[in-house]
């Protein structure tokens, strides 16, 4: 990674919890009965929001006895979804300390505190024992990490033999360049996109067996078209996490990502592999 401060500075933009509570009140949500569905437009901080998380869950296919690891968990939306859907335990780890505070609070408010826990830490050196987790996933995190070999090796270390890993992320496409800002980086200096081929080679070199690879470009474009139509009808878009977290740069960041996916400069992929 370029520098931990670059990453955490990029994602820490002030009173996130207050802004989120205000947005939920504006949606008419009863904060005393907060559900993961109420939070979904805001706490899934990756392309296609809950739709993509659902697909990652389908690939993981966990059981209630499992303990999952969410690497780069953000404010915890995917972790809460997995715990709610499978009845399993989830540990989330993220570099950005303010995200951990918000993740804890939201988890307490949604009544999932017994099964979902979060801790601040770096994915490159996690304070976790070897061979602990039944499965792991990471959504839109690797784009902030330069040391991909270190990233894959560290995930491999903490997984049990036979455990699944799902990576859902943007890879570097063959067509043109990504324009910045994006939701994951203000400038190209903080962005570390790998091609899908590089990612598959890196995972294999770390010891993983690749099971499936899906290019989700078509789904991303369709999701963006639907969101645009909703806004044109005067509705709130389905996915409002980037606006919540990035404020003034959000619109440019989302436009640049949509343009990169459309042009082929960036390719969204979902990779299932096994230790
Ligand atoms: C785009 S957000 C995605 C958050 C979450 N995975 C989600 O989908 O809602 C990227 C997250 O990766 C985290 N991150 C980046 N580099 C990291 C690292 N080296 N270790 C742990 N977390 C990291 C950031 O702090 C940020 O929360």
The angle at the Cα of 113, spanning 111 to 118, to the nearest 5 degrees, equals 140
Atom 17 (ligand 1): residue with closest C-alpha?
A: 95
4-172+188-217+266-274 adopts what CATH topology?
Answer: Rossmann fold (3.40.50)
Nearest in space to 2 (alpha carbons), one of 143, 113, 204: 143
Peptide bond into 181 cis (omega under 30): yes
Nearest to 60 by CA among 239, 269, 212, 218: 212
Residue with tokens 């436009």: 255
- Would you state the pLDDT for residue 2? 46
Q: Is 11 in the pocket of ligand 1 (CB under 6 A)?
A: yes
Task: Report pLDDT for 3.
Answer: 65
pTM: 0.96
Residue 72, Ramachandran bin (φ over 0: left; ψ between -120 and 50: alpha; else beta): left
Question: 196-206 vs 148-158: helix axis angle to the nearest 10?
Answer: 40
Ligand 1: residue of 3, 144, 191, 246 to mutate (most ligand atoms within 8 A of CB) is 144
Q: Which residue has the tokens 């343009």?
A: 259
Tell me the Cα Rg of the chain.
17
What confidence score (pLDDT) does residue 8 get?
85
Q: Distance between terminal CA atoms of the chain?
A: 24
The verdict on the CB of residue 223 being under 6 Å from ligand 1 is no
| Ligand 1 atom closest to Cα of residue 139 | 6
78 Cα: distance to centroid of ligand 1 (angstroms): 12
The answer, yes or no, to whether any atom of ligand 1 lies below 6 A from the CB of 49, is no
Interatomic CA distance for residues 7 and 137, integer angstroms: 20
> Does the beta carbon of 275 lie inside 6 Å of ligand 1?
no
Maximal CA-CA distance, the chain:
51
Question: Which sequence spans correspond to the domains of the chain?
Answer: 4-172+188-217+266-274
Indicate whether residue 98 lines ligand 1 (CB < 6 A). no
Which of the listed residues 74, 124, 152 should we mutate to test ligand 1's pocket, taking the one with most ligand atoms within 8 A of CB? 74
Mean pLDDT, 10 residues at a time, over the chain (275 residues)? 70 85 95 96 96 98 97 98 98 96 96 96 98 98 98 98 98 95 95 97 98 98 95 92 89 95 98 98
Q: How many CB atoms lie within 10 A of CB 114?
A: 9
Q: Which two tokens stand for residue 120?
A: 């601040």
CB of residue 76 inside a 6 A radius of ligand 1: no
Strand partners, 93: 71, 119
**pLDDT, position 213:** 98
């Amino acid at each position: 990674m370029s520098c931990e401060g670059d990453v955490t500075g990029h994602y820490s933009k002030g009173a996130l919890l207050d802004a989120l509570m205000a947005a939920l009140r504006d949606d008419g949500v009863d904060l005393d009965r907060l559900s993961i569905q109420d939070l979904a437009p805001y706490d899934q901080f990756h392309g296609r929001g809950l739709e993509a998380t659902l697909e990652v869950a389908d690939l993981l296919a966990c059981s209630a006895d499992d303990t999952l690891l969410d690497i780069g968990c953000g404010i915890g939306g995917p972790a809460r979804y997995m715990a709610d859907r499978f009845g399993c335990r989830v540990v989330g780890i993220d570099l950005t300390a303010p995200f951990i505070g918000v993740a804890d609070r939201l988890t307490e408010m949604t009544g999932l505190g017994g099964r979902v826990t979060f801790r601040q830490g770096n994915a490159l050196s996690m304070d976790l024992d070897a061979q602990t987790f039944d499965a792991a996933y990471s959504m839109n995190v690797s784009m902030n990490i330069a040391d991909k070999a270190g990233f894959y090796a560290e995930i491999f270390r903490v997984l049990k033999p036979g455990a699944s890993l799902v990576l859902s992320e943007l890879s570097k496409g063959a067509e043109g360049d990504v324009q910045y800002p994006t939701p994951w980086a203000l400038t190209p200096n903080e962005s570390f996109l790998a091609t899908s081929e590089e990612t598959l080679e890196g995972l294999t070199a770390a010891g993983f067996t690749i099971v499936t690879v899906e290019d989700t470009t078509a789904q991303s474009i369709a999701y963006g078209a639907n969101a645009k139509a909703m806004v044109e009808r005067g509705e709130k878009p389905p996915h409002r996490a980037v606006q919540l977290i990035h404020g003034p740069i959000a619109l440019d960041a989302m436009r640049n990502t949509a343009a990169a996916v459309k042009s082929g400069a960036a390719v969204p992929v979902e990779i299932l592999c096994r230790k």
